[in-house]
Structure 1
């Protein structure tokens, strides 16, 4: 089982984390594996990495529309492995992570996996007000995720993998979704999961925690301002996803999250008023973003 590890980057601000991530992949890659670093429309960063990365790395530029989805699609188009492994440019593979990913795909019914994503806070630990249920805000695991081996709708983008041919058949990631520069949008992984399940109904997407990364969380993400911005943009992205895939597919996981995970989170936070308030604020901003996104989509459709 050969792996193509794809790491997408767009800014020199994460250069230190990127080099660490590349090194962690190099230490684990097998003879038939490859590591591709995709630079998203940043010529200065491309030139810098050309002089900095080891010769074993395939360094390429995003050949499609600017943004994370286009960069990932470039990686898929240039990859040769049986499985494409996506790792964020600010994440480091834990020891044995690639072997863990490889083992998961020995099961022919598995079409994609989501790994475990542990937060590596630059400030040492998460702020006391930060709710565990909102780990997705910083691109990490959160309370409420299924156990290892269980089915999931979609993986977390910092650590995910899928069979290359399956990604080709669904035409990769939608450029209507996903981050572009510092815009805090998302949901391209969700649409990928929805499309994979639709195209391959007999196969599964599972959470596989032997495939694990440590995800760097900079100090500016440990703020309420970032928290609310990210929640709002997630809601906006969910509205776009709803328009593309329908409400049932777009919100299938969110129903249990809002009716079970969040209420139990509120109960757990009852002795921490700031965390309880953050939980309520996060839900409110996400909902506001979703409603705004739906209204904008309706207006655009009416104008067309």
Structure 2
């Protein structure tokens, strides 16, 4: 794809960034890219960032002529790859889609519709799970965040939120540059389930810089996120919950426990008690008792991870001050 973007659409220009790191998800990646290129309102630019995988970079460069394929400039991991996407893209708005997700045809339209309001600095959308196998009967919908999807407890209509789910989010490019992008100390690396919350930290820094800023959740801007069989296992559920707790402890150190845990407090006060009550009324139905166990175990594993992360955090080098991620504005040209 040429560095000069199309300007045939009114309103803000849009770059879509997809990050990929492995040949193992080639089929998923092709579906993701195709879903972006065939939008009702095609983006002005599609950037595929390959995270330190030369074979994937070579294959994608040859197979995807309509996409700008670039190697990650940052350290290995999702945050470094996303920062590369921000640095080399040109759109007024930058949307992020996971390499194993597929956007619905009106996705870009739904995201961009809200950027007419100056206070709106970011728009995220619904992430529906697409299970490779049947959904486990015990898996509570309140914990769909474990597999990177929207969970029961999120708004069911357009509403401001604290942060987005990384598989489906967009921001004004100026805001991403102003806060320095994603933190390299957070963010998934390969398949490791014990890192994350970089989206939460980013959103918190954006709203801390601009108290009037609005991050808007638009359920109509939907994507489908593939959930492989490996993520339906109890071992993954447990480790992912524990890892979320570790990551939340880091975010609390960076951003303060007040804003960093506001949504989690509401989740524990309202969403989880409702889920427990609902399943207690359904103990005669298949899976209800196991769902109760998963709810309790998920909360305990996450809480344990948070406690361990909080105790470790003060001793970790560099946590006394917020790190900055350099994201340089790109005026054009290849990386």
Measure the CA separation in 1 of the matches of 2:164 and 2:26.
25
Contact 2:49 2:69 in 1 (8 A): yes
Trace 1:254-293 onto structure 2 (pairs within 5 A): 254-270=264-280, 271=283, 272-293=288-309
Q: Name the structure 2 match of 1:152.
A: 161
1:226 aligns with 2:236: yes
Measure the CA separation in 2 of the matches of 1:214 and 1:298.
38
Structure 2 length-normalised TM: 0.87
With over 3 angstroms needed to count, the CA separation of the structure-2 counterparts of 1:208 and 1:31, relative to structure 1, is closer
- Pairwise CA RMSD: 1.6
Contact 2:16 2:43 in 1 (8 A): no
Contact 1:147 1:207 in 2 (8 A): no
Per-residue Cα deviation, 1:116-170 (whole angstroms, up to 9, x for no partner): 00000000x3111000100100000101102322110000000000000110001
1:49 aligns with 2:60: yes
Measure the CA separation in 2 of the matches of 1:99 and 1:11.
30
Contact 2:41 2:109 in 1 (8 A): no
Number of aligned residue pairs: 302
Per-residue Cα deviation, 1:26-60 (whole angstroms, up to 9, x for no partner): 1117576100000001111111212222x120000
Q: Name the structure 2 match of 1:86.
A: 96
With over 3 angstroms needed to count, the CA separation of the structure-2 counterparts of 1:246 and 1:52, relative to structure 1, is same
1:167 aligns with one of 176, 180, 196 = 176
2:129 aligns with one of 119, 124, 132 = 119
Q: Name the structure 1 match of 2:85.
A: 75
Structure 1 length-normalised TM: 0.96
Measure the CA separation in 1 of the matches of 2:76 and 2:112.
30
1:8 aligns with 2:19: yes
Measure the CA separation in 2 of the matches of 1:164 and 1:263.
39
Measure the CA separation in 2 of the matches of 1:210 and 1:45.
32
Which one has a larger percent helix, Structure 1 or Structure 2?
1
1:28 aligns with 2:39: yes
Contact 2:111 2:124 in 1 (8 A): no
Q: Name the structure 1 match of 2:261.
A: 251
Measure the CA separation in 2 of the matches of 1:32 and 1:145.
27
With over 3 angstroms needed to count, the CA separation of the structure-2 counterparts of 1:132 and 1:32, relative to structure 1, is closer
Measure the CA separation in 1 of the matches of 2:66 and 2:40.
11
> Which stretches in structure 1 are left out of the alignment for 5+ residues?
none
Per-residue Cα deviation, 1:69-97 (whole angstroms, up to 9, x for no partner): 01000000011001000000000001211
Contact 2:74 2:83 in 1 (8 A): yes
Measure the CA separation in 1 of the matches of 2:75 and 2:120.
30
Trace 1:170-249 onto structure 2 (pairs within 5 A): 170-184=179-193, 185-249=195-259
Per-residue Cα deviation, 1:222-262 (whole angstroms, up to 9, x for no partner): 11111001001000000111111111111010001011111
What is the Cα deviation at residue 201 of structure 1?
1.3
